């Protein structure tokens, strides 16, 4: 009997240890959006939508595996289900001596100039020598990249050599003022993008200024605080439904200012963004976001957006979005 109890205890310990190497987390949000169009020719709309994500991470020594899944959305107002599950990121991380290896498929992340993208068959190798970061990235011969980065006296700088261009970024902080400058360079004529940002805190109020610029042959298509402009496949075609990404024209620049503070447990953010430098297509975006954590563990967020397009009054609208989200 004692041997059986000991065996059960050992088996239980082994099982717990095995489970401890696997972590599962995720999030789910539900949104209700009412859009009021200025034009009488466009019907106002009420849309319910939900989006979810599941993150799975396994670890064995210095080797890890990451699998991320998206759980589709329902944007049809409840008349028919359109839920689907998609595999987004699947990759392995490990080490070979002092070299870190990452292989598989993963999202390269948004920034203020470009939308994120992912593809299968990627590999990345990185290390550091005397404080200099070195990284090599390749995706089936289509994205051969070498990145060199360093921190020089509190200033972070990086340079990336790509197949058809060069990227550069530098950022730092001086007496409470944060600043960064980044460039996405292209060997194609008139296809460079750049971004500059300055931020600080004044009397408890966060203040941020940013300007993203695009040359005449390309579109800005990032999805950050400046707004959701993911339009890689419809560049130069203004399509606006009040729900999905707003499409910019080629050469349009973005100038934005953000003010943020906390009041009675609520985080309050105001943003004003202007898209300009294209005749007849200047657009102004004003947004107020109020976020509050709830005692239930969920988070409530209210977002009011007002959009005014000088080039086409049928795309002017005001929307109210109510979101309930939870992370686990």
Annotate 65-134 with three-state secondary structure. EEEEEEECCCCCCCCCCCCCEEEEEEEEEEEECCEEEEEEECCCCCCCCCCCCCCCCEEEEEEEECCEEE
Rounded Cα distance, 326 and 228, in Å: 22
Rounded Cα distance, 237 and 257, in Å: 26
Which among 13-17, 87-91, 275-279 has the top mean pLDDT? 87-91
Position 207 confidence tier, pLDDT thresholds 50, 70, 90: very high
Rounded Cα distance, 288 and 271, in Å: 7
Write down the pLDDT at residue 110: 86
Provide, rounded to the nearest whole percent, the portion of the chain with pLDDT above 90: 60
* Predicted confidence (pLDDT) at residue 275 exceeds the cutoff of 60: yes
Helix (H, G, I), strand (E, B) or coil at 261: strand
Domain count for the chain: 1
- The single residue listed with the structure tokens 């990759």 is 91
Rounded Cα distance, 302 and 324, in Å: 9
> In terms of C-beta density within 10 A (0-12 exposed, 13-18 middle, 19 or more buried), how is residue 248 classed?
buried
- What does the mean pLDDT of the chain come to? 86
Domain that holds residue 142: 2-327
Segments in the chain forming alpha helices (H): 2-20
Write down the pLDDT at residue 67: 96
Rounded Cα distance, 169 and 6, in Å: 59
Write down the pLDDT at residue 79: 42
Reading the block at residue 208, the tokens are 């941020």
CATH code of the domain covering residue 148: 2.40.160.10
DSSP output for 220-241 = ---EETTEE---TTSTT-----
């Amino acid at each position: 009997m004692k041997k059986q109890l000991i065996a059960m205890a050992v088996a239980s310990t082994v099982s717990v240890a095995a489970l401890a190497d696997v972590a599962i987390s995720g999030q789910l949000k539900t949104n209700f959006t009412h859009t009021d169009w200025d034009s009488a020719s466009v019907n106002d709309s009420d849309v319910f939508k939900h989006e979810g994500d599941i993150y799975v991470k396994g670890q064995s020594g210095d080797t890890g595996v990451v699998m991320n899944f998206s759980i589709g959305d329902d944007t049809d107002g409840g008349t028919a289900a359109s839920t689907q599950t998609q595999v987004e990121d699947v990759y392995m991380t490990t080490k070979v001596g002092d070299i870190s290896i990452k292989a598989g498929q993963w999202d390269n992340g948004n920034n203020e100039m470009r939308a994120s993208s992912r593809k299968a068959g990627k590999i990345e190798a990185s290390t550091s020598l005397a404080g200099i970061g070195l990284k090599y990235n390749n995706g089936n011969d289509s994205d051969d990249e070498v990145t060199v980065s360093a921190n020089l006296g509190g200033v972070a700088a990086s340079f990336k050599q790509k197949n058809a261009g060069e990227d550069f970024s530098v950022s730092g902080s001086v007496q409470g003022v944060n600043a960064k400058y980044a460039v996405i360079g292209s060997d194609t004529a008139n296809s460079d993008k750049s971004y500059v940002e300055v931020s600080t805190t004044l009397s408890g109020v966060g203040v941020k200024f940013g300007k993203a610029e695009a040359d005449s042959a390309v579109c800005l298509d990032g999805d950050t605080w400046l707004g959701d402009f993911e339009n890689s496949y419809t560049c130069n075609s203004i399509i606006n439904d009040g729900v999905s990404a707003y499409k910019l024209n080629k050469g349009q620049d973005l100038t934005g200012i953000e003010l943020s503070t906390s009041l009675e447990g609520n985080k309050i953010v105001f943003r004003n963004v202007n898209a300009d430098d294209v005749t007849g297509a200047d657009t102004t975006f004003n947004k107020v976001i109020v976020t509050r954590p709830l005692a239930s563990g969920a988070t409530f967020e209210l977002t009011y957006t007002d959009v005014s397009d000088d080039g086409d009054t049928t795309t002017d609208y005001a929307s109210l979005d109510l979101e309930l989200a939870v992370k686990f």
